[in-house]
């Protein structure tokens, strides 16, 4: 009898253990898998494609993480321009949105420094240049100052003037005009009239976007400045990193055939690459050496 009771007890324990393991497996399968940071961010962007606004609390419940974790994700994504923070959550970033210079300066720093150094190597002592306002052109001015290049530079950018003005070898002329605090630059008719009074060897310009439509700008007023600088320059050089490829903004600066020289960090591919290959534009890749594309002479910008 004792032997039989022991067998029954053993049977119950074994089956209880097996049932517990099965139940544990079912519970584990039903529990949401903890997403990695990259996966969470991809899911947030997917949610924003499906609806205009997402809430922190809903995403925290969906991901099985704290609301603080979701807030940190959103803050970092907002800084990268992937979404807009809103009360209690976030909304999709507006297409074509363009942030102030102080925000853009924190992005793609290594690429901008490389483009700036490379572009500075294209300038010889004694040359005259025009430089517009922008984060990449500011790195270009910094490289010119560091190299103590003997140049005369005309700019509408307060920061370009301050950076390059630190060099004893450079002569800097700052154009007059209406001051834009967000961009630390001047714009307007007075600025364009001032720039029209000079003829220079080359201009070095940044841009917000480059697509099959050409070079485009997001800041109203910058377009007129850039087109004026293009007209007054014997050589035209755009400093545009690959993150801006495929982007089109409201104000057109130049068609692909009017670029002259594109200084960038990667060769354009796809439709943009095809559009540029059909022109006389010269592409200089800062990380891989110069690559010349096209044979026709570029027309003057319209």
- Give me the half-sphere count of Cα atoms (radius 13 Å) on the Cβ side of residue 91: 6
Higher pLDDT, 182 or 26: 182
Q: What is the CATH number of domain 102-292?
A: 3.40.50.1360
As a whole number of angstroms, the distance between CA 93 and CA 85 comes to: 9
How confident is the model at residue 87, as a pLDDT? 78
Place of tokens 């029954």: 8
How confident is the model at residue 8, as a pLDDT? 54
Higher pLDDT, 197 or 79: 197
Confidence check: pLDDT of 19 > 90: no
- At the topology level, CATH places domain 37-92 in Arc Repressor Mutant, subunit A (1.10.10)
As a whole number of angstroms, the distance between CA 98 and CA 79 comes to: 12
As a whole number of angstroms, the distance between CA 262 and CA 10 comes to: 80
Tokens of 142: 């910094």
Confidence check: pLDDT of 203 > 60: yes
Q: What is the pLDDT of residues 61-109, one digit of tens each?
A: 888 899 999 999 888 887 766 778 877 888 776 554 444 544 544 455 7
**β-pair partners for 211:** 214
Q: Would the CA dihedral through 74, 75, 76, 82 be positive or negative?
A: positive
Q: How many residues does the chain have?
A: 302
As a whole number of angstroms, the distance between CA 227 and CA 215 comes to: 11
Least confident of 43-47, 98-102, 127-131: 98-102
Confidence check: pLDDT of 26 > 80: no
What mean pLDDT comes out for the span 183-205? 96
Tokens of 229: 């600088």
As a whole number of angstroms, the distance between CA 154 and CA 174 comes to: 6
Domain boundaries, given as residue ranges, for the chain: 37-92, 102-292
pTM for the predicted model, two decimal places? 0.64
As a whole number of angstroms, the distance between CA 22 and CA 4 comes to: 27
Look up residue 188 and give its DSSP letter.
S
Q: What is the pLDDT of residues 249-279, one digit of tens each?
A: 889 999 999 999 999 999 999 999 999 998 9
């Amino acid at each position: 009898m004792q032997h039989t009771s022991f067998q029954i007890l053993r049977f119950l324990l074994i089956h209880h253990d097996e049932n517990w393991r099965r139940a544990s497996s079912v519970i584990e399968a039903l529990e949401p898998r903890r997403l990695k940071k990259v996966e969470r961010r991809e899911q947030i962007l997917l949610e924003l494609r499906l609806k205009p606004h997402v809430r922190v609390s809903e995403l925290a419940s969906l991901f099985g993480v704290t609301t603080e974790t979701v807030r940190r994700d959103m803050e970092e994504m907002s800084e990268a321009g992937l979404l807009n923070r809103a009360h209690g959550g976030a909304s999709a970033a507006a297409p074509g949105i363009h942030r102030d210079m102080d925000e853009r300066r924190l992005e793609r720093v290594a690429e901008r420094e490389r483009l700036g150094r490379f572009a500075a190597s294209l300038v010889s002592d004694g040359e005259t240049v025009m430089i517009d306002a922008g984060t990449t052109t500011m790195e270009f001015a910094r490289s010119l100052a560091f190299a103590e290049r003997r140049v005369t530079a005309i700019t509408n950018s307060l920061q370009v003037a301050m950076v390059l003005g630190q060099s004893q070898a450079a002569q800097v002329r700052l154009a007059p005009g209406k001051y834009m605090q967000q961009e630390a630059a001047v714009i307007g008719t007075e600025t364009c009239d001032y720039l029209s009074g000079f003829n220079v060897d080359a201009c070095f310009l940044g841009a917000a976007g480059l697509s099959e439509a050409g070079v485009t700008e997001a800041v109203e007023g910058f377009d007129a400045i850039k087109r004026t600088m293009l007209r007054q320059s014997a050589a035209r050089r755009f400093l545009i990193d690959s993150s801006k490829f495929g982007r089109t903004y409201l104000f057109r600066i130049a068609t692909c055939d009017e670029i002259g020289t594109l200084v960038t960090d990667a060769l354009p591919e796809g439709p943009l690459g095809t559009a540029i290959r059909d022109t006389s534009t010269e592409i200089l890749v800062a990380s891989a050496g110069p690559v010349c594309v096209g044979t026709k002479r570029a027309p003057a910008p319209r």
